[in-house]
Each structure stands twice: as structure tokens, then as C-alpha cells.
Structure 1
């Protein structure tokens, strides 16, 4: 049987895969595993139309096993994690499908340390959702209550303001992806003194991530250039990742942020240990750039939870993914797009250089990713034609590049990434493999 929990919680098309009935059952099982009566859970959501429906079902399930529930409404995922740790909650749950399109949604839990639940805990929850429901059903005063706690979002906003550098005289463009940063991000940057230009900040439940945000920063790149902004930041739908846009309108991903932070700290004798944690998707150019300053790159499988676990294991200060999830271990256990943007501006100010000047000092290898819609994406290793094409591609790349094939854990997509010192070779190799996947695995 396919595991219910993927790499980032439970995901699917809302009301088709992720139904209210499933959310109710998930709430009952999670509530029982997380402690039951006498404990409270905080729930937040992004701006999708299906959010309230799933929030109601999840809250009902939690209350039915005696849990108290507090609803904070629209909040970035890292903000929900922050509240789960900062207040008297046993756990937090966020209803979001992150960067996925509007029809999708998801449910993800955090413990009271602001960390995602371990696989073993998710397995216990999932086991209770199979077969007959024999979980407790308290009555009368044993039933949990649902309360409105939207005011708690201000606590997260205040935390971010406390982390912000003074930004007077700076014009900052923000792409909120019509997602959960649409209120918090503009407010935080305005409090810090910046002139804020907010775009894609009018969610209607259907436009989250549509032609905007961290997965489509091209619009923000144009807007930064047109408005002569000093910097731009494109968040994804749930605000846990960010793409940086410099004053020339060039976009920079999480690898740029890792290089900026690690090199700055290393040059000031403050990077201990001398390493950062990335993933198998991290650009080879970052590894080369860091090596010049004596900094090692440690790779994990894709997923910010695996990055965090490796950071904990090694005591690393910084870690993240090319997609824009970046973790500053001193402040957070998960990726936080707004916090990352503020830290980038801190670092640039301390370096006394603009973002474009800092980017010019780094060298990344051309990297091309093709996302192929493939229902049979997990069969790629068993498909003879695709395996032969992959072997041929690896011979062609030789030591001047690398390739990675990875089935998405959150959507029916096979991700094919090719990296090479030569951009044309990277692109043609990725296109060739994508054609084979479309023929063999759809």
C-alpha cells in the first residue's frame, strides 16, 4: 500500500484525494497519537479555497478525541511552526500544498519544537487510520473546543520584525504568490523602514502560485527592473521558500543564499564547523565556490526535513535546498522565506555590497530541470529504455557534469535535472531524457 504521508505531509487534490472524510480520520488518529485530552493544537492554512473545508474537518477530528484546537487562519508555514513552539501547544498543523497549484492541498504537522513529525510518528498515525476506528470518543465535557486565535499571527510578525535590519532608503519588491505571506511580508518590511512594492498579494482562493511566486519569478524579475527596486523576493504559496532577485533583475536561488551566508561567516571566523548542508540537487558550482574558502558541502536526499536532520547531526549553522528552502539553525528549524530574505539583506549590508555585486562573485554551473508529468514515475529504474538513455547521458556528460532523476514525493511528476559546465549540453541532455520519459512512463 502507498504510504499516506509523503515527503511533506499528506497531499492530494482537495475533495478528490484529500477529502474531508480523510482529514477527519487524520485528525482523530493524530490527536490520539499526539496526546489526546488535555492538549492543544494550533491550525493554520494558506489561501486555497479548500482550506476552510479541510480545516473544519481536521479540527472536528482532533476535538472528537478530546484535543483543544485554536485556529489562526492565513499564516505562512514557518509562522505556524513558530507558534507551535512559542505557545502552549503540543503540536501545530498547517493546511497547504506549498508551491503546488490551487486545486491541490495538504496537511502537515509540527511538534512543539517546531520540527516536522518523525517518520515513526507518522507511521503510528497512519496505522490508526486503517481498518475499524476504535479510538476513544469522549462525550459532554470531554469533547475538545475550537477557538479563534488569529491574533497570534501578530506574534510571528513581531518575531520577524525583531530580526529585520533597518531598511530606510531601500525599495523592496515582494511577490507574495497570492499565498500566505500576503499580509505578513509587506507589514514586516514596512516596519523595518523599507518602501514596499507588494505584488500578487490579492488571493481569491484560486490564484495561489499562478504565474507568480518562487516557482515563477520571471514576473518579479521584470517588476524589479521596471520599478528600479534595490531587491526583490518571491515567496511560494506557503512562505517557506524564497527566490532572491537582485537590482539588475536576475533571480538567485537557495544555493546563492547558502554561499552568501557561509562565505561571510567563514571570512569572519564564525563558521563552525566549516560546512553547510545541501541536497543532491545542490549546484556543483556552489560546492566549487565554497571549497575556495575551505568550506565543505554535505549532501542529503531532497527534503528540508533531511537537511535539518543532517544539520542537527553535524552541528551545521546553515543548510538548505536550491528551491529556496534555507534554514538558519540559530533561529529556526525549518525554511522561512521571509526570515531568509531579511538575513540576505543583513548579510549584504554587512558586506557593504549590492546583491548583484555579491552574485557576480559566485560561479554556478548551468543546471536544467525538466518536470515530466508521469503517472508511472516511480518505475523509471525498472524501465529498460529509460535506463539505457540515462546511461548514455552519463557517458556523454563524463566528468564535466552530473544528472539526477527523482520522482516527486508531492505530485505525479518525474524530475530530471542535468548539470554541466556547458549550458547547451545540459539542456540537450535534459530534453533527450524528458522525451524518453514522456514515451515510456506516462
Structure 2
């Protein structure tokens, strides 16, 4: 992680941690950099960058700032308008853009925003390019064997233009619809759109399959994205599914790259459940590549117990869907994701895609003629206690020898009946201490014992 960009883009409170000036400079660099790459390859046509945004009030400000920077550097900016992160990844790859930009702070409150960058292959942008952007923002850019105190503006006919590209979003919707394998005329499906990017996409897709759709939180006003809605506040959908007798419900986050589900009884089906259900389904069909499901270190201990029972191998990566995807590509795996609902189906997408995840869950339900509550049987979630503690220096707190000793002690006491994980936040001055065990009181006891050492050693802010 760099100074500005974390595991999922450049994120901060709008015009506080992330300003319109930042966005303009990011646009300036990307427009110039991709034009220069083209020029050095003998191509004088302008670079093409596609941009999507979520429903936050500040997204328009950042969109215009990015466009200003891009066209000032001579690149053409194509606008998808309000759309999902996975749609930007899809269109970037399919329509051969130099890169894609998504303006969103995902599940964060409306006053935050972010800039997510996507490579021409539809994947999260590589770290070496991110490092160049950060160097430019700090005024110490060295690239192409030169130090650049300033980068040139485009002039005359070289100035870029802006293109309305809503047709790209519509093509993505068509792509999702093409993946449907079953008629859903006999199903009642609930959709919680978090007043975010999925509000004008998810309903269209499921109605095309013939489902009777029940929609909540699909009236964005610029300040209600994720507010008591979506995958981070799923209790509303739980109640909605039960009250309306629905077969299943799906909740998305602000930019719809994650999905959590609710079964017919109103019980949560999180990302780990989804990995278990679809991993098991693929194995039964002899389609689970390398017999492996890719998880992160935050997946529940019970998931690994369930995979062991099914004879399914698993890998653990650092937290972040970019790391999951990198492992999947390097090791030829077809399914992976996070407990939070970022699920990647590498045959169909290069990023987590909440609506796609919904489609695949319904596919399993229809094919196996089972309810979601039945499909998740065999996976028992272990109690998990996760506590955050604000510290002066995340790395210093984690590397303290006494903290390490306490963590090792807890791990030894848990043995193979649980686990402890201590990790730093990617976006805050916070250390996260998590314990999973068969008993919640044991989890609390061990988490508190580690936090006490962190406090005693003076690391607390």
C-alpha cells in the first residue's frame, strides 16, 4: 500500500482526504502516461479512458475533475455515468481501453469517495503504475529514463474530447443477461441496491430472467448510499425477505462489486457461504480447477473445516480481492473471494461482481432444486470476535516482540480448534485482532488479552 492508494484505490473523505485537485492530477498523469506509451509504440492516436461512478453527490465533482485532467493531457474520456465497478472492468477489457476509472468508496458512507483504477486487461491496476501516480502527486516523478518536474499539456487538435458512453453500460447488462441459464418465472427475489450503483441495473437483469423482483433501497439522492442499506446493513433485507415470503434476497454495496445473500428464512449467507456453495457445486460437476477455492485470511475457520469434509483444497491470500484474483490467475483457479462478499468467477469476470454472484447463486438453486438454506448445510460458522484498536503506528504495534509473543501464546492454546489473526487496516490507523473458536467467550478472552498487551506497551493512539 502506498501513501495515497490502498488495497482498493485512493479513498478518503471528499475534499478532505481526497480532493478535486487530486482527481485532476490523477487524470493529468493517466492521460499523459498512456498517450506517451502509445507514442513510443508508434501510435499517434489518443489514449482512451473509460469512467464510471456511483451515486454519491461528490462523484460528479470527481468525474469532471478527472475528465479535465485527462483531456488536458490529450486523452479521450468515455463516460459510463452511474454504473458498477465490475461493469467498468468489463468494458475496459472488452472495448480495449487503455485503462478504466471507477469513482466510488464502495461500502463507505456518502461523504467518502474514492478513485479505483483498472488496467486495460480489466484487472486492478498494477502496483508499478500506481507508484508512478503517487510519485507524480508528490512532485518526484521519474519515468521513461527522465525526471519530470512537470508534464506537458496537450494543445490544438491534440486536446482530448469527452464521449457519452452509456451504451457500454447497456452492453454490460446484456452480458449479464446472457449468462442466465434458467427461467426464474417461479421465483420471488429480493434486491437491496444500497441506493448505489446497482439501482438501475440489478432489477433489469432479474426481470429479464422472468423473476418477480422486490426492490428496496433503489432511490439514490446523493447522500443515502449505504445508509442503513445494502450488504453492510443487511438486517433490512432479512426482514423484507421474511415479510414478503421471498425465495431469496441479495444485498449489494455502493458500487456493487460485492454481494451477500439472505435465505428464505431470513438468515445471512455471507461470502464464505457462497464460496462453500459454489465450490462444492463445481466439484460435483468436475469443474473445480485444481480442486481449489481461493480465500483470504479473514475467511471463517469453519469454512476450512467444511472444505476438508468435502475434500476441497483451499488457498489463503492477503485481504483484498486484487490479491485473490492475482492468486487465481497465477494458479489457474476458477472461484475465489472474501467473506465480505467480493466473489470472483474468473471464467466470467476479472473482479468481484455482486450481480454476477447473485446469478450464480440462483443457478445453483435451480440446478440442484434446493433452497439456499439447504445448500449451505455442511458449513458451520465458528464464533468470531474481531476488535479494532487505534494505534500510533500500525507496523510498530504489530512487530512489538511482546505482542508477537502473546499472539503466539494464544495460537498455541487454540491449536487446531481455532485461530488468531492480527492485521493492520488498509485505510485507517487501526490494528485488527480477530479470534475464532468454538466458544464466543473464549474468543473475547483471547482478543482482549492481546489488546491489553498492545495498550500496556504504549501503542494506543
- Secondary structure of residue in 1 paired with 2:316: strand
Q: Greater CA deviation, 130-139 or 104-113?
A: 130-139
Pick from 333, 336, 343 the counterpart of residue 350 of structure 2.
Answer: 333
Deviations 1:322-365 (A, max 9, x none): 11111111001110000001101101211221001112232232
Deviations 1:258-289 (A, max 9, x none): 11111112122222211111111112221121
- Between the aligned partners of 2:84 and 2:437, the Cα distance in structure 1 is 35
Calculate the aligned-residue CA RMSD, in Å.
Answer: 2.1
Match of 2:107 in 1: 99
User: In structure 2, what is the Cα distance between the partners aligned to 1:70 and 1:389?
Assistant: 53
Distance 1:246 1:427, change over 3 A: farther
Decide whether aligned partners of structure 1 residues 433 and 100 sit closer, same or farther in structure 2, where only a CA change above 3 A counts: farther
- Deviations 1:353-395 (Å, cap 9, x if unpaired)? 1001112232232223234455644442145775565455435
Identify the residue that residue 122 of structure 1 maps to in structure 2. 130
**Equivalent in the alignment of 1:17:** 17
Residue 441 (1) aligns with residue 460 (2): yes
Q: Counterpart of 1:27?
A: 27
Between the aligned partners of 2:186 and 2:448, the Cα distance in structure 1 is 45
Following superposition of structure 1 onto structure 2, how do residues 241-280 of structure 1 map, counting pairs within 5 Å?
241-280=258-297
Q: Are residues 1:197 and 2:214 paired? A: yes
1:86 deviation in Å? 1.8
How far apart in 2 are the matches of 1:158 and 1:81?
15
Give yes or no for contact 1:274–1:295 (8 Å, CA) kept in 2.
yes
After the TM superposition, which of the residue ranges 287-296 and 243-252 deviates more from structure 2?
287-296
More off after superposition, 300-309 vs 28-37:
28-37
Deviation at 1:183, TM superposition (A): 0.8
TM-score with structure 2 setting the length: 0.90
1:130, distance to aligned residue in structure 2 (A)? 2.5
> What are the within-5 Å matches in structure 2 for residues 337-356 of structure 1?
337-356=354-373
Given that 2:306 and 2:378 are in contact with CA atoms closer than 8 Å, whether structure 1 keeps it comes out as no
Alpha-carbon distance, 1:429 to partner: 3.4
- Alignment partner of 1:313: what SS? helix
Question: How far off its partner does 1:33 sit?
Answer: 2.4
> How far did residue 147 of structure 1 move?
2.0
Query: 1:4, 1:436 → 2: CA distance?
Result: 30
**Alpha-carbon distance change, 227 to 440 in structure 1, aligned in 2, over 3 angstroms:** farther
SS in 2 for 1:33: helix
TM-score (norm 1): 0.94
CA contact (8 A) 2:392 2:459 kept: no
* Number of equivalent positions: 442
Equivalent position of 1:152 in the other structure:
168
The secondary structure found in structure 2 opposite 1:193 is coil
Q: How far does residue 413 in structure 1 lie from its aligned partner after superposition?
A: 3.8
Matching of residues 271-350 of structure 1 within 5 Å: 271-350=288-367
Conserved 8 A contact 1:379-1:441:
no
- Map 1:393-404; keep pairs closer than 5 Å: 393-404=410-421
Comparing 414-423 with 160-169, greater Cα deviation is found at 414-423
Provide closer, same or farther for how the CA distance between residues 53 and 249 of structure 1 changes in structure 2, counting only shifts above 3 A.
Answer: same
1:54 aligns to 2:70 (yes or no): no
Distance 1:191-1:371 versus aligned 2 partners, 3 A rule = farther
Matched residues in 2 for 1:431 and 1:157: separation?
47
